[in-house]
Amino acid sequence: MRRSIVIGICGFAASWLPHRLVMACERLAPWSRLADTAAQYAAPLPLALSAGAVVAPILMAPSGADHAIRVLGQRDLGGMPNAEPVTVFTPYVLSGALVVVDAFALPLESCEVARPTSAMLQAFALTLGTVTLLKWSTGRAWPNAGRDPNAADRLEHPEFATRFHPFTFSQGTAWPSGHTATMMAIASSLSTVTYHRSWIGYVAYLATLGVATGMWLGDHHWGSDILSGGLLGFSIGHSVGLAFRQSESPAATTITYSVVPWSRAGSFGLTLHARF
Protein backbone atom coordinates (compact mmCIF):
# COMPACT_ATOMS: atom_id res chain seq x y z
CA MET A 1 0.00 0.00 0.00
CA ARG A 2 2.80 2.44 0.96
CA ARG A 3 4.64 1.62 -2.27
CA SER A 4 1.55 2.39 -4.36
CA ILE A 5 1.03 5.71 -2.57
CA VAL A 6 4.65 6.78 -3.05
CA ILE A 7 4.65 5.80 -6.70
CA GLY A 8 1.38 7.64 -7.19
CA ILE A 9 2.77 10.80 -5.56
CA CYS A 10 5.91 10.60 -7.71
CA GLY A 11 3.85 10.24 -10.87
CA PHE A 12 1.64 13.18 -9.87
CA ALA A 13 4.68 15.36 -9.21
CA ALA A 14 6.24 14.38 -12.52
CA SER A 15 3.07 15.36 -14.38
CA TRP A 16 3.34 18.89 -12.94
CA LEU A 17 6.93 19.41 -14.01
CA PRO A 18 7.42 21.27 -17.33
CA HIS A 19 8.22 19.01 -20.21
CA ARG A 20 10.77 21.21 -21.97
CA LEU A 21 13.53 23.57 -20.87
CA VAL A 22 14.87 26.20 -23.30
CA MET A 23 18.33 27.59 -22.67
CA ALA A 24 17.87 31.32 -22.14
CA CYS A 25 19.52 33.56 -24.71
CA GLU A 26 22.83 31.69 -24.74
CA ARG A 27 25.29 32.91 -27.37
CA LEU A 28 23.14 35.94 -28.08
CA ALA A 29 25.40 38.54 -26.47
CA PRO A 30 27.10 41.04 -28.80
CA TRP A 31 30.46 39.33 -28.29
CA SER A 32 29.06 35.87 -29.12
CA ARG A 33 29.41 33.95 -32.39
CA LEU A 34 32.55 35.76 -33.54
CA ALA A 35 33.89 32.53 -35.06
CA ASP A 36 30.61 32.07 -36.94
CA THR A 37 30.83 35.64 -38.19
CA ALA A 38 34.38 35.06 -39.43
CA ALA A 39 33.26 31.92 -41.24
CA GLN A 40 30.41 33.77 -42.93
CA TYR A 41 32.72 36.63 -43.91
CA ALA A 42 35.08 34.21 -45.64
CA ALA A 43 32.36 33.49 -48.22
CA PRO A 44 32.73 34.81 -51.80
CA LEU A 45 30.17 37.64 -51.55
CA PRO A 46 31.60 39.47 -48.51
CA LEU A 47 35.14 39.08 -49.80
CA ALA A 48 34.15 40.41 -53.22
CA LEU A 49 32.37 43.41 -51.70
CA SER A 50 35.35 44.15 -49.47
CA ALA A 51 37.63 43.99 -52.48
CA GLY A 52 35.33 46.43 -54.25
CA ALA A 53 35.62 48.78 -51.29
CA VAL A 54 39.40 48.82 -51.70
CA VAL A 55 39.27 49.27 -55.47
CA ALA A 56 36.81 52.18 -55.40
CA PRO A 57 39.26 54.97 -54.41
CA ILE A 58 42.00 53.47 -56.57
CA LEU A 59 39.77 54.02 -59.60
CA MET A 60 37.78 57.10 -58.61
CA ALA A 61 40.47 59.33 -57.07
CA PRO A 62 42.99 59.60 -59.95
CA SER A 63 40.33 59.47 -62.66
CA GLY A 64 38.66 62.64 -61.43
CA ALA A 65 35.39 60.89 -60.58
CA ASP A 66 35.65 61.77 -56.90
CA HIS A 67 36.14 65.45 -57.66
CA ALA A 68 33.35 65.48 -60.24
CA ILE A 69 30.91 63.89 -57.76
CA ARG A 70 31.88 66.46 -55.15
CA VAL A 71 31.28 69.36 -57.54
CA LEU A 72 27.93 67.88 -58.56
CA GLY A 73 26.75 67.73 -54.96
CA GLN A 74 28.06 71.13 -53.90
CA ARG A 75 27.48 73.25 -56.99
CA ASP A 76 24.57 71.64 -58.80
CA LEU A 77 22.50 70.04 -56.03
CA GLY A 78 22.75 72.77 -53.42
CA GLY A 79 25.07 71.05 -50.98
CA MET A 80 27.21 72.99 -48.54
CA PRO A 81 29.85 72.18 -45.91
CA ASN A 82 28.32 70.83 -42.70
CA ALA A 83 24.84 71.26 -44.14
CA GLU A 84 23.03 69.69 -41.18
CA PRO A 85 23.96 67.88 -37.94
CA VAL A 86 21.38 65.07 -37.96
CA THR A 87 23.25 62.63 -40.19
CA VAL A 88 26.47 63.30 -38.28
CA PHE A 89 25.04 62.20 -34.93
CA THR A 90 22.67 59.45 -36.14
CA PRO A 91 25.10 56.47 -35.92
CA TYR A 92 26.20 57.43 -32.41
CA VAL A 93 22.66 57.92 -31.11
CA LEU A 94 21.50 54.68 -32.72
CA SER A 95 24.37 52.60 -31.33
CA GLY A 96 23.77 54.05 -27.86
CA ALA A 97 20.10 53.12 -28.06
CA LEU A 98 21.03 49.56 -29.07
CA VAL A 99 23.29 49.24 -26.03
CA VAL A 100 20.43 50.26 -23.74
CA VAL A 101 17.93 47.88 -25.36
CA ASP A 102 20.36 44.95 -25.28
CA ALA A 103 21.28 45.66 -21.66
CA PHE A 104 17.64 45.06 -20.72
CA ALA A 105 16.81 42.29 -23.21
CA LEU A 106 19.56 39.88 -22.16
CA PRO A 107 18.92 39.76 -18.39
CA LEU A 108 15.15 39.73 -19.00
CA GLU A 109 15.65 36.73 -21.33
CA SER A 110 13.85 38.49 -24.18
CA CYS A 111 15.76 36.47 -26.75
CA GLU A 112 13.85 37.63 -29.81
CA VAL A 113 14.82 41.18 -28.96
CA ALA A 114 18.38 40.34 -27.95
CA ARG A 115 19.11 38.43 -31.17
CA PRO A 116 18.79 41.39 -33.60
CA THR A 117 20.11 44.03 -31.20
CA SER A 118 23.20 41.97 -30.34
CA ALA A 119 23.78 41.31 -34.04
CA MET A 120 23.58 45.02 -34.79
CA LEU A 121 25.95 45.88 -31.96
CA GLN A 122 28.50 43.31 -33.07
CA ALA A 123 28.27 44.54 -36.66
CA PHE A 124 28.68 48.14 -35.49
CA ALA A 125 31.71 47.34 -33.34
CA LEU A 126 33.48 45.19 -35.94
CA THR A 127 32.86 47.76 -38.66
CA LEU A 128 33.99 50.66 -36.50
CA GLY A 129 37.21 48.85 -35.62
CA THR A 130 37.88 47.95 -39.25
CA VAL A 131 37.13 51.46 -40.48
CA THR A 132 39.39 53.03 -37.85
CA LEU A 133 42.28 50.79 -38.89
CA LEU A 134 41.74 51.63 -42.57
CA LYS A 135 41.54 55.36 -41.85
CA TRP A 136 44.88 55.25 -40.07
CA SER A 137 46.44 53.05 -42.76
CA THR A 138 45.50 55.36 -45.63
CA GLY A 139 45.25 58.84 -44.08
CA ARG A 140 43.18 60.23 -46.92
CA ALA A 141 42.70 64.00 -47.00
CA TRP A 142 39.22 65.43 -46.48
CA PRO A 143 37.51 67.15 -49.43
CA ASN A 144 38.57 70.59 -48.12
CA ALA A 145 41.97 69.28 -47.01
CA GLY A 146 41.78 71.32 -43.81
CA ARG A 147 41.25 74.63 -45.61
CA ASP A 148 38.50 77.19 -45.07
CA PRO A 149 35.22 75.49 -46.11
CA ASN A 150 33.89 78.87 -47.20
CA ALA A 151 36.81 79.72 -49.48
CA ALA A 152 35.73 80.84 -52.95
CA ASP A 153 38.03 78.37 -54.67
CA ARG A 154 37.24 75.35 -52.53
CA LEU A 155 35.86 73.37 -55.49
CA GLU A 156 38.83 74.09 -57.73
CA HIS A 157 41.30 71.60 -56.30
CA PRO A 158 40.85 68.14 -57.86
CA GLU A 159 44.31 67.21 -56.58
CA PHE A 160 42.95 67.01 -53.03
CA ALA A 161 41.21 63.75 -54.00
CA THR A 162 44.56 62.05 -54.55
CA ARG A 163 46.20 63.03 -51.28
CA PHE A 164 46.93 60.09 -48.99
CA HIS A 165 49.19 60.15 -45.92
CA PRO A 166 49.48 56.56 -44.66
CA PHE A 167 49.78 55.58 -41.02
CA THR A 168 48.70 58.86 -39.47
CA PHE A 169 45.51 60.52 -38.33
CA SER A 170 46.90 64.05 -38.58
CA GLN A 171 46.44 64.68 -42.32
CA GLY A 172 42.91 63.37 -42.72
CA THR A 173 40.87 60.22 -42.21
CA ALA A 174 38.34 60.45 -45.01
CA TRP A 175 38.48 56.87 -46.34
CA PRO A 176 36.29 55.01 -45.80
CA SER A 177 33.22 56.82 -44.50
CA GLY A 178 32.68 55.53 -40.98
CA HIS A 179 29.16 56.96 -40.80
CA THR A 180 28.09 55.15 -43.95
CA ALA A 181 29.89 51.94 -43.03
CA THR A 182 28.45 51.62 -39.52
CA MET A 183 24.93 52.52 -40.63
CA MET A 184 25.10 49.98 -43.45
CA ALA A 185 26.46 47.34 -41.06
CA ILE A 186 23.54 47.93 -38.68
CA ALA A 187 21.00 47.84 -41.51
CA SER A 188 22.36 44.74 -43.23
CA SER A 189 22.75 42.78 -39.99
CA LEU A 190 19.20 43.65 -38.96
CA SER A 191 17.66 42.80 -42.34
CA THR A 192 19.60 39.53 -42.50
CA VAL A 193 18.86 38.29 -39.00
CA THR A 194 15.14 39.14 -39.36
CA TYR A 195 14.86 37.94 -42.96
CA HIS A 196 11.22 37.15 -43.90
CA ARG A 197 10.13 38.11 -40.37
CA SER A 198 10.19 41.90 -40.27
CA TRP A 199 10.14 44.91 -42.58
CA ILE A 200 12.15 47.12 -40.23
CA GLY A 201 15.41 46.20 -41.94
CA TYR A 202 14.27 48.07 -45.03
CA VAL A 203 13.65 51.16 -42.92
CA ALA A 204 17.22 50.85 -41.67
CA TYR A 205 18.45 50.85 -45.27
CA LEU A 206 16.54 54.07 -45.92
CA ALA A 207 18.17 55.62 -42.85
CA THR A 208 21.55 54.51 -44.17
CA LEU A 209 20.82 56.14 -47.51
CA GLY A 210 19.92 59.34 -45.67
CA VAL A 211 23.18 59.36 -43.73
CA ALA A 212 25.22 58.61 -46.87
CA THR A 213 23.49 61.47 -48.68
CA GLY A 214 24.25 63.77 -45.76
CA MET A 215 27.91 62.80 -45.91
CA TRP A 216 27.96 63.72 -49.61
CA LEU A 217 25.94 66.93 -49.65
CA GLY A 218 27.54 68.08 -46.40
CA ASP A 219 30.95 67.81 -48.09
CA HIS A 220 32.19 65.44 -45.39
CA HIS A 221 33.46 62.75 -47.76
CA TRP A 222 34.53 61.92 -51.28
CA GLY A 223 32.22 59.71 -53.33
CA SER A 224 34.54 56.72 -53.09
CA ASP A 225 34.68 57.12 -49.29
CA ILE A 226 30.92 56.67 -49.15
CA LEU A 227 30.83 53.84 -51.69
CA SER A 228 33.61 51.96 -49.91
CA GLY A 229 31.93 52.47 -46.55
CA GLY A 230 28.67 51.04 -47.87
CA LEU A 231 30.33 47.98 -49.40
CA LEU A 232 32.44 47.28 -46.34
CA GLY A 233 29.55 47.81 -43.92
CA PHE A 234 27.27 45.50 -45.88
CA SER A 235 29.86 42.72 -46.09
CA ILE A 236 30.44 42.76 -42.33
CA GLY A 237 26.82 43.32 -41.31
CA HIS A 238 25.51 40.59 -43.60
CA SER A 239 28.06 38.14 -42.20
CA VAL A 240 27.07 38.97 -38.63
CA GLY A 241 23.39 38.67 -39.48
CA LEU A 242 23.87 35.19 -40.93
CA ALA A 243 25.81 34.12 -37.85
CA PHE A 244 23.07 35.27 -35.49
CA ARG A 245 20.26 33.91 -37.67
CA GLN A 246 21.45 30.31 -37.38
CA SER A 247 18.69 28.37 -35.64
CA GLU A 248 20.90 25.37 -34.99
CA SER A 249 23.12 27.36 -32.64
CA PRO A 250 23.10 26.73 -28.88
CA ALA A 251 20.97 29.84 -28.49
CA ALA A 252 18.03 27.81 -29.76
CA THR A 253 18.97 24.50 -28.13
CA THR A 254 16.09 22.75 -26.38
CA ILE A 255 16.49 20.24 -23.57
CA THR A 256 13.80 17.55 -23.57
CA TYR A 257 13.43 15.37 -20.53
CA SER A 258 11.11 12.87 -18.85
CA VAL A 259 10.72 11.90 -15.21
CA VAL A 260 10.13 8.22 -14.38
CA PRO A 261 9.31 6.96 -10.86
CA TRP A 262 11.04 3.79 -9.65
CA SER A 263 11.03 1.42 -6.69
CA ARG A 264 13.51 -1.25 -5.66
CA ALA A 265 13.77 -3.32 -2.45
CA GLY A 266 11.73 -0.90 -0.41
CA SER A 267 13.37 2.24 -1.89
CA PHE A 268 11.57 4.77 -4.00
CA GLY A 269 12.61 7.73 -6.19
CA LEU A 270 12.55 9.46 -9.55
CA THR A 271 14.79 9.00 -12.59
CA LEU A 272 15.41 11.98 -14.86
CA HIS A 273 16.09 11.21 -18.55
CA ALA A 274 17.33 14.22 -20.54
CA ARG A 275 18.17 14.69 -24.21
CA PHE A 276 19.93 17.78 -25.58
| Residue 163, pLDDT above cutoff 90 | yes
Q: What pLDDT shows up at residue 273?
A: 53
Contact 221, 174 (CB under 8 A): yes
Q: For the segment 50-63, what is each residue's pLDDT rounded down to a tens digit?
A: 999 999 999 999 99
Q: For the segment 3-34, what is each residue's pLDDT rounded down to a tens digit?
A: 443 333 344 333 433 333 334 677 899 999 99
With a CB cutoff of 8 Å and minimum separation 6, the contacts of 256 are: 19, 20, 274, 275, 276
Q: What pLDDT shows up at residue 257?
A: 47
Please tell me the distance from the alpha carbon of residue 164 to that of residue 166, in angstroms, as a whole number: 6
Q: What pLDDT shows up at residue 47?
A: 98
With a CB cutoff of 8 Å and minimum separation 6, the contacts of 273 are: 257, 258, 259, 260
pLDDT category at 260 given cuts 50, 70, 90 is low
Look at 276 and 262; give whichever has higher pLDDT. Answer: 262
CA-to-CA dists, residue 108 to 203, 210, 254, angstroms: 27, 33, 19
| Domain positions in the chain | 1-22+254-270, 32-251
Q: For the segment 61-91, what is each residue's pLDDT rounded down to a tens digit?
A: 999 999 999 999 999 999 999 999 999 999 9
Angle at 119 between CA 238 and CA 225, to 5 degrees: 50
